Amino acid sequence: MLPSGMQGAYARFDRHQSLIEIKIMESLKTIDHFHALQRRLLSSRDPVIPTLIISAGTCGQASGANDLIRIAKREILGKKLTGKVRLRITGCHGFCEMEPSVLVEPRRTFYPKVNPKDMARIVEAVTTYSIVEEFLFVDETTGNKIEKKEEIPFFKSQVRTLLGLNEKVDPIRIYNYIEHGGYQALATVLSRGDSGWVVDEMKASGLRGRGGAGFPTGLKWEMLARQSNGYGKILICNGDEGDPGAYMDRSLLEGNPHSIIEGMIIGGFGTGANEGILYVRNEYPLAIKHLVIALRQAYQLGLLGSNILGTGFSFDLRLVRGAGAFVCGEETALIKSIEGKMGEPVQRPPFPVQKGLFGKPTLINNVETWANVPMIMNQGAQNFKKVGTEQNTGTKIFSLVGKVKNTGFIEVPMGISLREVVHTIGGGPSGKAAIKAVQTGGPSGGCIPISRFDLTIDYESLKTAGSIMGSGGMIVMDERTCMVDVAKYFMNFLKEESCGKCFTCRKGTQRMYELLDDITAGRAVRETLDLLEELSNTVKDTTLCGLGQTAPNPVLSTLRYFRQEYLDHIEHRRCPAGVCKDLITYSINEKCTGCQLCLKTCSFGAIRGEKKGIHQIDREKCIRCGACRDVCKFDAIEIK
């Protein structure tokens, strides 16, 4: 707890940061009033004043960003730098591996993995317009220090049209968003007063739904616009991001909630809907907090509610918290959840755009899709199409995780190759083992081997390769990853998340998991593979919703590309990656130098030996955890 005097100083600091907001907080009655507000905000900004930008999304806060914020405030107040140095607290910038980080504008100096004790030196350097070289990012390939954020390999190959705003906007300050072009697209749309033009622009942009299936967004909007408005129409933002290793939607909601809100208001005008719902999983407390604040601010300014900007158009938005069921990512199950019923899919047709939430025509797009809408309206459909490919326009956000050096969430043009993402942006393998495969599309996606890394990232190419785009999860695996174990892991997840409505999904995923468990435990026979493949295809062809239809993908893709690993498990009773404990034993070879690092690491006393002598492993005590292998610097631990 801070002393009361210091708490008061911090409160004064925050009041100074938002002084312009306090002075001009008002309900905007017309579009002209909105443009006047824009001019006042822009005239109050001095781009020359240095600004400390601290990334404080969930990953940043978990890594210590709040300590950096506290120290930065203390230094600015204590040294009477208010007005000379600015502090901006933002959502995640994407380079999660380097959190907590600090970016300095306008110089664009990037400091990764900042230690709180070093924050005061960074503030001091900003006041003298200098840099602290020892804190800069170091390129492991060249050994060179890199100052500018855009020159760091992780950022250099990205096209950050959506994520670029995360570093410019404080998510809880609506005026900050407006200052950087926020709600200008809405003002433009309302000025034109032509809902048909909005739908035509969306169709012309070629934007496809970023939630997984890739359905043309403009076509879906047109379908809703044609529905009768007798009982009202509803828009839904699907923020139920349940894929393990995926956090793109969370980062957008935390870092720039107003972009999603603005996109939905524009969508309401274009389709004739007057009501919207933001469906966000309850496990995202920071995203929910920022959304609640953003909604309140938008209502206070008159950008939500009745007669928006005096145009006669009305639109209301509310937040609904999801309980975290993976199946609720499927749109009909999501609708049931909002209605207060069990989240399980229903047969289509009728489709939600015909009969959806509470029987009303309903349109559902995911977070990233809605965030693209203001950008399309601002720059025009034809300019939007310049990025990406003819059939896959724009950019796509991915979470890049796993056995890769540079983890984080990235934004790249559609059509980029897997190789460029993994090796150029991701920096290649994180350890000694070579990269083996990448899994795209979450639990329902497939595993693509390194031999196919020249594959372009688009909906059709990934589907042909036996995977899917999904919402954007991308997990990199190396030679120490067992592909049978990977399939087993995802099948365990999917069988637990199945709603159980379809017999083939409920029992099929369970039986598929059991067969995979038999293979990893050495209980399987050659015929097991035939049964597993037949069962996978049956589940794929006979289930009701996307969960069951795509659940076999991890199995079918690993069987397609890594069948020999399955055969090694079955015929030779060995796991080549050294993961499946029932099929491996550890031993120490003559490369052992007797450094005793493995002996000290083993918690079960399974390793014995004298210093500088070759050690031995007691197989009765060994639990095959692999800790000794991980710490050995001489490749002396073998798997048999």
State the DSSP string of 321-382.
EE---GGGGSHHHHHHHHTTS-------SSPTTTS-GGGS-EEEEEHHHHHHHHHHHHH-HH
Rounded Cα distance, 219 and 203, in Å: 6
Would you state the pLDDT for residue 639?
85
Q: Which amino acid is at 233?
A: K
Q: Express each pLDDT in 374-410 by its tens digit.
A: 999 999 999 999 999 999 999 999 999 999 999 999 9
Quick one: DSSP state of residue 95?
-
pLDDT range class, residue 16, cuts 50, 70, 90: very low
Q: What angle do CA 19, 22, 24 make, to 5 degrees?
A: 110
The Cβ of residue 607 has, within 10 Å, a number of other Cβ atoms equal to: 23
pTM: 0.92
pLDDT surpasses 70 at 2: no
Distance, CA of 42 to CA of 46 (rounded, Å): 8
pLDDT for 229 equals: 82
pLDDT score for 470: 83
Question: With b meaning 16 or more CB within 10 Å and e meaning fewer, what string describes 163-184?
Answer: bbbbbbbbbbbbbbbbbbebbb
- pLDDT tens-place string over residues 46-65: 889 999 999 999 999 999 99
Work out the number of other CB atoms within 10 angstroms of the CB of residue 78: 12
Residues 151-161 have pLDDT tens digits of 999 999 999 99
Mean confidence (pLDDT) of the chain: 92
pLDDT at 11 over 70: no
List all residues 6 or more positions away from 453 whose beta carbon is below 8 Å from its beta carbon: 417, 418, 419, 422, 423, 438
Report residue 22's pLDDT band, with 50, 70 and 90 as the boundaries: very low
Q: In percent, how much of the chain has pLDDT > 70?
A: 96
Model confidence at 329: pLDDT above 90:
no
SS3 content of the chain, % helix, strand, coil (to 5): 45, 15, 40
Q: Are 318 and 310 in contact (CB under 8 A)?
A: no
What are the tokens at 149?
């954020």
pLDDT at 15 over 70: no
609, pLDDT greater than 60? yes
CA angle 165, 168, 172 (to 5 degrees): 95
Q: What angle do CA 235, 240, 242 make, to 5 degrees?
A: 155
Distances (CA, A) of 49 to 56, 82, 212, 303: 21, 11, 42, 30
Report how far residue 401's alpha carbon sits from residue 422's, in angstroms, rounded to the nearest whole number.
10
Residues of the chain with pLDDT > 90, as a percent, come to 84
State how far the Cα of 219 lies from the Cα of 228, in Å rounded to an integer. Answer: 17
Average pLDDT over residues 69-79: 95
Does residue 490 contact residue 507 with C-beta atoms inside 8 Å? no
Write the pLDDT tens digit of every residue in 167-202. Answer: 999 999 999 999 999 999 999 999 999 999 999 999
The whole-number average pLDDT for the span 513-520 is 97
Count of alpha carbons within 13 angstroms of residue 448, beta-carbon side? 27
Peptide bond into 350 cis (omega under 30): yes
Beta strand pairing status for 616-617 and 607-608?
A: antiparallel
pLDDT in tens, 241-289: 878 778 889 999 999 999 999 999 999 999 999 999 999 999 999 999 9
What pLDDT is stored for residue 25 in this prediction? Answer: 62
Q: What is the distance between the alpha carbons of residues 485 and 592, in angstroms, rounded to a whole number?
A: 29
Contacts of residue 412, Cβ cutoff 8 Å, sequence gap at least 6: 157, 158, 159, 395, 396, 398, 420, 421, 425, 457
Which domains, and CATH codes, for the chain? 4-25+44-167 (3.40.30.10), 181-384 (3.40.50.11540), 395-481 (3.10.20.600), 484-571 (1.20.1440.230), 585-639 (3.30.70.20)
